[in-house]
Structure 1
């Protein structure tokens, strides 16, 4: 293993590997999210009508978030003991095979209850794979970063989220245009519903093969290699995390909660609310029209991730996230100004401009919030438990902020109206603000020693 800092060409390879890997993983993850709203209620849960079928589909969507902490434990164990490289390859392979298998699944009309059962199993596997992916990609970037530029280096794997979303939903948009699919008038025997929806799942295997090729050419990170040299490998990283870093684990989890809640409201729930039938209390916008609005808004998500990396290195992770999360709370309290039926309308007369402004504000805040996470969470944990600790925090937050969010938001919107969903987001934001207030700034933390470099410099300067 090389202990030397990576040169520029190898650092560029690291950037490409971390970005390409997370893009592929999130592409696989999001094509399910899109299909869970527009396709799966018709093909895998037809026994339920309208809202019941949608809620059942949302429940399988949430299964992956239950699986993600399991993935972070399993892959985190090997990532902290064997290394970052091998673990990243394994997580990508699991995700890719599960996604490909979903594309081959017979529907409820062919094999009955086995169809939703198998769909749930493969969705669970997707969650396990993504649970091990994020922290490995984040560590690959942070543990090879230049001094003072860790948040900017760590933002590259974060860009995989918007890029994967754009690829997945852009693919679905192209298919709906090509097949002439209209979600408001969908018929079960349409070509898009019989076989067209399978194409993104099946063709994703090509991207997975590319990602595996890139990652197999990487070396271990210098920080992990030095930890091995010092003999710091643990028998059970998970036990050590809970024993020595329970506070950091808890704070890291709640720091991510608002970010997760915001994203899955802006993607999964809002899609179901936007294209749902007017008579059920939704907006009734055509699937294709709404997907275009989402794709435009995600560009704001992608654009503000690099901005957040620079701001986090300049002003600190904690200060930036306190400001952004406060804005998320205010945004949640302002849902009535965007989603009230009196303001936005419904059906063919729904105000697309208001919807686009709403989505764009949400995605801008998402970029500013999500960008620093791949620097902040790894900085909370020492090298020999960093993969496990950051991954478990990140993915426990997925249960609290993401797994329940589309389901709860759908129920809230149907019971109390869309404005109540904003209050739910504000509550998630408040929990994140509390966690941030209890967390120390980590910008100057040395990843080898876990000592604040500015404090160490002051001690050295004042020592006799």
Structure 2
């Protein structure tokens, strides 16, 4: 195969080496996910008492998880707005903005008054800041993964696309590690001020993330497509992608159900469930930390595997694994044995990694360059409202309805897995297709893709 004459080559001084692009995507995404997951950990362990103290513990947890879900509702809006400008102005320009929005909101949560001092204003402010968190993260994911996927050699898109995906477990790891340190304080100190420090620490991480991202060049695929954009007024990317790729958006949404819903049950809901059956808060946090370390290895491994055998087999394998683990997961947790709890969460995380590893490249390859940010973001973020955002809330409600019997949650997990298996089965295999540049004479990305020269650019980066 030959290189596209329109795309920057590996010797182009304006092209950043792929390892640096991937590293910048990973670090920036890790910072964003730190902020987002920190809220989930606090919602499971402390927000029910600080912001909803008039309820009994279970109802307080439901209310706290309700505010957790609000962040997911805001994510599609962030995906639409940042997707529009990311497809018009570039991927890089959106990433620093999303980091700043997320960081300011997270820092402000650490300064919030509690219900005891501000009454109903406290949970209202909490919800508003959670909306800003979701809005920022909604725009973050699409830009981060496209910077990595569009800059990668064609035969390594699965591997390099998994780098920003690793930001999720890295963010979770740091969030739970920091929270674990302060949760070890005496209870009165932790409730008084200890829980705030991890939120305030976000300011430092945001500064690091923005500094690193400013040193990365724009995606070569975007620059090539931008040079050839039509002179006449074009359709807004979100409308164009809805008209051109409706099936791909729906299938991407379905593909996320098991991945997104299962993840938040295994890492967030499990904290509340474990403490409700008598396991110590610190022990549950440590179990999630162990599993997260496993996750950091599983994601790039499955991403690389998808470059060899395809996206669909790896993704479907992960969804099947989730279904098979749905009942054993709670059986192991219910033993209250440390090793069994670690095993349960780690196995769940491995199954999730099989879906999450190839997901960035899989979703990116479904759409053309001019609408790829909007298309990938819509499929990814819309599903998060119905899957990840609701899963801890639905699981808690099911547990309450069945007198704390987890079999109902297991059935819910199987249902999520079935939606994903069918959706991925109906999707086209994309790992051998080009991602194109959508320029005149080129095939649109998401169909068998070629670039402007009729061939896929396979830039090898030293």
Alignment of 1:343-354 (within 5 A): 344=335, 350-354=336-340
Structure 1 residue 328 and structure 2 residue 318: aligned?
no
The structural deviation recorded for 1:453 is 6.1
Cross-structure match for 1:369 = 355
Q: 1:452 aligns with which of 448, 453, 456?
A: 448
The structural deviation recorded for 1:230 is 1.2
CA contact (8 A) 1:300 1:367 kept: no
Alignment of 1:29-68 (within 5 A): 29-68=36-75
The structural deviation recorded for 1:89 is 1.2
TM-score by length of 1: 0.90
Deviations 1:205-235 (A, max 9, x none): 1110111111122221110011111115844
CA distance in 1, matches of 2:357, 2:190: 35
Cα RMSD (Å): 1.7
CA distance in 2, matches of 1:118, 1:336: 35
Where 1:4 maps in the other structure, the secondary structure is coil
Structure 1 residue 28 and structure 2 residue 35: aligned?
yes
- From the superposition, tell whether residues 336 and 63 of structure 1 become closer, same or farther in structure 2 (CA, over 3 Å): closer
CA distance in 2, matches of 1:316, 1:17: 26
Structure 1 residue 14 and structure 2 residue 21: aligned?
yes
Cross-structure match for 2:244 = 244
Cross-structure match for 1:300 = 294
Alignment of 1:269-284 (within 5 A): 269-276=269-276, 283-284=277-278
Alignment of 1:358-397 (within 5 A): 358-397=344-383
Structure 1 residue 426 and structure 2 residue 414: aligned?
yes
CA contact (8 A) 2:316 2:355 kept: no
CA contact (8 A) 2:329 2:345 kept: no
- Structure 1: state its 5+ residue gaps: 182-189, 277-282, 345-349, 458-464
The structural deviation recorded for 1:447 is 1.2
CA contact (8 A) 1:444 1:453 kept: no
Q: 2:8 aligns with which of 4, 7, 15?
A: 4
Structure 1 residue 143 and structure 2 residue 150: aligned?
yes
Structure 1 residue 85 and structure 2 residue 79: aligned?
no
Cross-structure match for 2:190 = 192
CA distance in 2, matches of 1:389, 1:335: 34
CA distance in 2, matches of 1:234, 1:302: 41
Cross-structure match for 1:186 = none
Q: 1:210 aligns with which of 205, 208, 211?
A: 208
Structure 1 residue 286 and structure 2 residue 280: aligned?
yes
CA contact (8 A) 2:435 2:449 kept: no
Aligned length: 432
Structure 1 residue 440 and structure 2 residue 421: aligned?
no
Cross-structure match for 1:72 = 79
CA distance in 2, matches of 1:323, 1:168: 29
CA distance in 1, matches of 2:425, 2:212: 39
- Structure 2: state its 5+ residue gaps: 1-5, 437-442, 456-462
CA contact (8 A) 1:301 1:365 kept: no
Structure 1 residue 316 and structure 2 residue 310: aligned?
yes
CA distance in 1, matches of 2:22, 2:320: 31
Where 1:94 maps in the other structure, the secondary structure is helix
TM-score by length of 2: 0.90
CA distance in 1, matches of 2:267, 2:200: 22
Structure 1 residue 111 and structure 2 residue 118: aligned?
yes
Which segment drifts farther, 38-47 or 59-68?
Answer: 38-47
Cross-structure match for 1:225 = 223
CA contact (8 A) 1:81 1:234 kept: no
CA distance in 1, matches of 2:234, 2:223: 14
CA distance in 2, matches of 1:395, 1:213: 26
CA contact (8 A) 2:8 2:224 kept: no
- From the superposition, tell whether residues 40 and 336 of structure 1 become closer, same or farther in structure 2 (CA, over 3 Å): closer
Task: Decide which structure has greater helix share.
Answer: 1
Deviations 1:34-87 (A, max 9, x none): 111111111111111211111000000000000000110010010001110111
CA contact (8 A) 1:5 1:144 kept: no
Cross-structure match for 1:180 = 186
- From the superposition, tell whether residues 234 and 211 of structure 1 become closer, same or farther in structure 2 (CA, over 3 Å): farther
CA contact (8 A) 1:25 1:95 kept: yes
CA contact (8 A) 1:300 1:360 kept: yes
The structural deviation recorded for 1:336 is 5.4
The structural deviation recorded for 1:12 is 2.6
CA distance in 1, matches of 2:235, 2:253: 24
Deviations 1:109-136 (A, max 9, x none): 1111010000000000000000000110
The structural deviation recorded for 1:5 is 3.1
CA distance in 1, matches of 2:346, 2:330: 16
Deviations 1:125-163 (A, max 9, x none): 000000000110000000000121100110110110111
